[in-house]
Chains A and B, each alone.
With several copies, the nearest count.
Chain A
Amino acid sequence: MPMANNVNGFDVARIRADFPVLARQIRPGVPLVYLDSTATSQKPRAVIETMDEFYRKSNANIHRGIHTLAEEATAGYEGARRRVAQFINAPSARQVIFTRNTTESINLVAFTWGRANLNAGDIVILTEMEHHSNLVPWQMLAEERGLRLEFIPVREDGLLDMDAYRELLELEPCLVSFTHMSNVLGTINPAREMIALAHQAGALALVDGAQSVPHFPVDVQELDADFLAFSAHKMCGPSGIGVLYGRKELLEDMPPFLGGGDMIKRVYLRSFAPNEIPHKFEAGTPAIAEAVGLGAAIDYLESVGMQAIAQHEHEIVAYALERLEEIPGVRVFGPSAEHKGGVASFTLQGVHPHDISQILDSFGVAIRAGHHCAMPLHEKFGLPATARASFYLYNTREEIDRLVEAIYQVKEIFG
């Protein structure tokens, strides 16, 4: 793409113009600085308009209708599935299951593959940096089935302890389930290596891609992942839709998840025969307009280029770390820029992260404060909460400057 305004040809100004919300002023004269994309991303006009158009022109229920609208809606929904498959390089669109979000995708694996395959004493390996979405489903299943959960430790520098991982693999676990990128530390885990090690030890590997798929190129075949979970809302797409990718043989062998319309082949009063994949796992009317919106989000991301997005975020986070570390009393968590994605979690001495966030908001700067759905990780670092600024393709160095200025204001108020 021919672009200006940036040494690498990445035209942030042009990208920003695609996102209507970025023109918002939080108060008159105070423009929004949105630094909370790890929680959810903003949406480009193309995505909003595609869904709008769907409702104005082609809205219908799918799969079963024969009329024009139903055929168009079905083509839109199934076309989005193929688009997702291409994006993550899945061998077939039938390996792409639409769910509500990353959380439901992981629960689906726990409660179908897990219930069918895991029994008392079986071991599942997680990490200490997991989001609650990749902890609680396994805890529920562990309680039900008597599984044993083990955790790869997080080192002081924010990286996983790979030696400890190798040792845990000697326990012969059935599954290793880990986040591709930490939503708190920003750590990008060596997924390909971790999966290869899991496979050597006879375990399957589930990758929580909630923070990776939106931010850098992810190829399920290159990773050799058995399952990959992610959410549309974090990748310029709408709320209400997520994805589970799975290896075909696994999906075919798994029992169904929820029961109802569309996931069946045949229904009698007292029994049913499940449908083929992917439909077997999609009960009831799915998030149709949302799938179409996700397809548009992928088109948008690819028009910019995932590699270019990753590169841009890398520059922004490196600059953010440099600026934040200058501020007396600020402590930044996680590894150095080379090992991380666009996330900077920090604390400011003497000020609770909630108060940081609240005061920053009065300067238009939107960051997040709390445990970021990673309580065990915060406990490990001895903190109830952190403040987190996170970045995406539309963020600029000037926004980092605004963040830093506002933090100085916080210090003054609490000084």
Chain B
Amino acid sequence: MDDLYRELIIDRYKNPHHRGVLEPNDISFEDDNPLCGDHIRIDLRLDEAGRVSEASFDGHGCAISQASADLLVESVLGKTLDEVRLLSKEDILDMLGIELGPVRLKCALLSLKVLKAGAYGLGEASDDLVE
């Protein structure tokens, strides 16, 4: 079977570890992929040292977008916002462990785009964040 659908992805899609919303939160951002309607919201809470103490995602979409969001949110726990801002496309691809063409890449990177727009405190998310 296609290694795109590695067990990890199907597993995280069906049984996400970090799905939910945090209210109140310190940072919350949401956006969608206009090409397919996938939607992701990410909420973060920070501790006194400014590190991510709690993180969650919510939304709907394909297995790749949802599993990426779950893995991404997990990876930011304990990080400072500056560290979060440094996350790149490669970090997401490493977590997923797969190769993606340009269209599916947008699915995988939606959560990163949302996370970084939140971490930078932007009004709008932009593709520049994940290039």
Contact = CB atoms under 8 A, between A and B. Distances in A.
Nearest to B2: A362
B127 A94 contact: yes
B36 A371 contact: yes
B102 interface: yes
Interface in A351-367: 352-355, 358-359, 361-362
A354 B10 contact: no
A268 interface: no
A71 B36 contact: no
Contacts of A264: 34
A361 B102 CA distance: 15
Given A265-B34, A354-B61, A359-B5, A384 B101 contact: no
A337 interface: no
Contacts of B64: 354-355, 358
B63 A370 contact: no
Contact of A384 (B1, B60, B63): B60
A250 interface: no
Given A264-B34, A384-B39, A65 B1 contact: no
A354 B36 contact: yes
Contact of A75 (B5, B34, B63, B102): B102
B122 interface: no
B101 A75 contact: yes
A139 interface: no
Given A359-B5, A362-B4, A352 B103 contact: no
B15 interface: no
What size tier do the contact residues of chain A reach?
35 or more
A414 B126 contact: no
Q: Is the interface of A mostly helix, strand, loop or mixed?
A: helix
Nearest to B36: A370
Contacts of B21: none
A336 interface: no
B101 A354 contact: no
B38 A64 contact: no
A70 B106 CA distance: 14
B92 interface: no
Contacts, number: 85
B107 interface: yes
Interface residues of B, number: 27
B37 interface: yes
Given A354-B61, A413-B1, A413-B5, A384 B103 contact: no
B104 interface: yes
A370 B101 CA distance: 16
B98 to A, nearest CB: 11
A411 interface: no
A353 B37 CA distance: 11
A385 B103 contact: no
B69 to A, nearest CB: 13
B126 A276 contact: yes
Contacts of B5: 355, 358-359, 413
A371 B37 contact: yes
Contact of B34 (A78, A275, A361): A275
Interface in B26-69: 32, 34-39, 60-65
A385 B36 contact: yes
26 contacts: A70-B103, A74-B101, A74-B102, A75-B101, A78-B102, A94-B127, A94-B128, A266-B32, A276-B127, A352-B62, A354-B62, A354-B64, A355-B64, A358-B2, A358-B5, A362-B1, A369-B36, A370-B35, A370-B37, A371-B36, A371-B37, A384-B39, A385-B36, A385-B37, A409-B1, A413-B5
Interface of B: 1-2, 4-5, 10, 14, 32, 34-39, 60-65, 101-104, 107, 126-128
